[in-house]
Structure 1
Amino acid sequence: MIDWEKKLDWVKNQANTIKSGVKSKQPMKVGQALTKVFLLVVLILAIGPQYTNEDGWELRIVSFALSPANEIGDTFAGIAGVLAFLWIIVTVWLQSKELAAQHKELKATREELKLTREAHQKQVSILEKQAVIFEIEQADRLEMRAKDQFDQMLGLLSELMQNEERWGSRWRPRNLNSSGMIIGLPVFEIRKATSADDAVKQGVSGSLVCLRGLKEYFHKKTDISKSDIRDAYLQCLSFVHEVMRPYEQLSPGQKMRFDSMGLDQLRDNLRELLEMDIWVESGEV
């Protein structure tokens, strides 16, 4: 005796499986449940009675077994066709689900690549900023080193010009009686300098005054004394060139300081003095 209540419970269970499979997007569960329900329907129909005019009531399974071979084949083909159609639907569903998963994965990959690209761009930006900072720091170090060198050389030049009385010369007319006084034109006239910068500025002014005074002597054809220590002033000019050497490495503020002292003018004045006929030639008494 068939327990129809259990069968109904089983059908309800399969219906719930189909429903939950559809909601949770699990095509395999849905396909399996539909296959079971379909086969159960086929089984019920197969064992169910049927009435014929020739034999009266009999089981369909008996009638099916006694049917011609082509009818049996058509029946199995029909059952297989339904199952095949069902699992084609399940297969398409599975492929659709896989394609959706691939699409989601590709989207996640694109997002990851986008984040990676943005991170790379940020890293490049940081490296560029670090490079700029490094260049600025390196420029600052070079400017500081150039300033220290400039200050040191400027201090030595200031000391050299302030001590001209020890190593330099004065030019004066030959017929002028000094009477024990220090007279004549020195190249540098520095008095009470307050700093190296001030001493150099006074030296620039003094060299210009000396140059103008000597030109005045030549204009009046005044016979003046000559100096035999031209080499000392050549060395002084060479030292001025050394002081001017770090100009390009100086900061803008230090370049303004350099320009305000007139070192270019001092260099030109010394060159002109060295070319004038105020020096004792070799063999000249």
Structure 2
Amino acid sequence: MTQTLEQAIAAGANLLAPSSESAKLDAQVLLLHILQKPHSYLFTWPESTLSTEQQQQFDTFCQRRLNGEPVAHITGQREFWSLSLEVNATTLIPRPDTETLVEQALEMAVPSNAKVLDLGTGTGAIALALGSEMPTWQITAVDRVADAVALATRNQQRLAINNVQVKQSNWFSALNGEKFHLIVSNPPYIETTDIHLKQGDVRFEPLSALVADDDGLADIKQIITQSRDYLHAKGYLLIEHGFEQSGAVSQFFAQMGFINIKTVKDLGNNDRVTLAQCS
């Protein structure tokens, strides 16, 4: 039997409540994806009835979500910085916390035609957000995973953000000594023993994009060390990290001779981004 939109959301929310902290929102997003309608449609037409095909698809989506699959993987898209991005299981799903990194990057004192590098771009979220805001910046986005490069390229082409170039590179390996005014990165920073890796959406995301050795700091330290060869004098490096890692990240920045080191909190008031200037 098919349901009205109102009934479907209520049933979906009820089904998902034991496994999701945002059960009603999950149900709404899944239903809107099927209907291909804006959020306002749910309030304008709550009594309209789903077709049999729509009902079956909604039931299937809810079951997948109940099994723990991320909403973004079910719908194949995620909004970040008001950009609709294609996502899949080859990369991290962009998180709202990462918008803190974008906000800070936009505040840096760099030339109007700055050369910018996004390391480990994944979906391309950070690079494309920056490119959409600063059309005169020349942005290079790199990832070592070919599937991620293909995904970020599709997002770049679909959004027509033409000042972003995506290429395959293991951190700096394919950059041939280029110099940048600003480098940003959301690298893997979770400890390999972290219990959260067996919970929630991260179970469906690639471990290589999440975890790092040396208490989660291995990739961060490599980026800080190598970036000195790729930054212009007084250039900036901004790194997203775990909420308990700001002290260690700041300390390593100082060890490597960076100056003007600063940590910024995310929307949840957790330490999330540490930035520094090349001396």
Same fold (TM over 0.5): no
Give the structure with the larger strand fraction.
2
User: TM-score by structure 1 length?
Assistant: 0.18
Question: What TM-score, normalized to structure 2?
Answer: 0.19
| Higher helix fraction (1 or 2) | 1
